[in-house]
Amino acid sequence: MAKLLLATTNRGKIREICHLLYGMPFEVVTPIDLGIDVSVEEDKQSYQENAQLKAEAYSKASGLITLADDSGLEVNALNREPGIHSARYAGENASDENRIEYLLAKLQEVPEGKRTARFICVIAIAVPREKTLFCRGECHGVIGFEPKGSNGFGYDPLFNFPELDRTMAELTLEQKSQVSHRGKALQEARHLLQELAEKVKA
């Protein structure tokens, strides 16, 4: 069975992606599994460029089909910040708790009806000696006034789905796969990976 490398060491992302790719004809591996340590400076100006940068760097280092994602939270009241800077919004080595505290401080004066936001995810699938493929997903919600839930990571505990009356971090993996930005992008990625698996077999 062909290997598929996930270009991330983020345990939350690995857990989600593995769940969403369950049943695919690939052995999913991580950089830790392969002993690969690639330093990628995510200094591009779009989710797609950053995802491509990671996917191609890890694919080159491993020789494997590689999947990478770049995602971000865009809050309308903050002129769509933090966007591509979501992971570093509260500082280079900030924890999830630091990021949540920082975002809540920025929104301290913003009332309930003005806290709309969206999550965006772009997935890049780098294939050795072939063109990199892309998938995109987004979801819309509202930023809460306090974190709720423990099933997610990053800004998930603040991101509310009004129609579900739940935050992203209060959803099960199964529920999250249906409505999240990453879930939607990965549903599209499954089709592309199925085609790649058939090509590898042939």
Give all domains of the chain, ordered by start, each with its CATH number.
3-201 (3.90.950.10)
Candidate list 37, 43, 69, 70, residue with the active-site label? 70
Query: What pLDDT is attached to residue 44?
Result: 82
Confidence (pLDDT) at 82 = 97
More confident residue, 76 or 24: 76
pLDDT digits (tens, 9 = 90+) for 77-87: 999 999 999 99
pLDDT at position 32 is 93
Cα 118–chain centre separation: 13
CA distance 77 to 65: 39
**Pairwise CA distance, residues 160 & 188, whole Å:** 24
Chain-centroid distance of CA 119 in Å reads 9
The pLDDT mean for the chain works out to 93
The residue behind tokens 């409505």 is 179
Q: What is the pLDDT of residues 170-191, one digit of tens each?
A: 999 899 999 999 999 999 999 9
Residue 202 has a pLDDT of 53
pTM of the full predicted structure?
0.92
Q: What is the mean pLDDT of residues 108-133?
A: 96
**Which residue in this structure is represented by tokens 């770049």?**
70
Q: Is 43 a catalytic residue?
A: no
DSSP, res 126? E
Residue 192: closest CA among 120, 130, 140, 119: 130
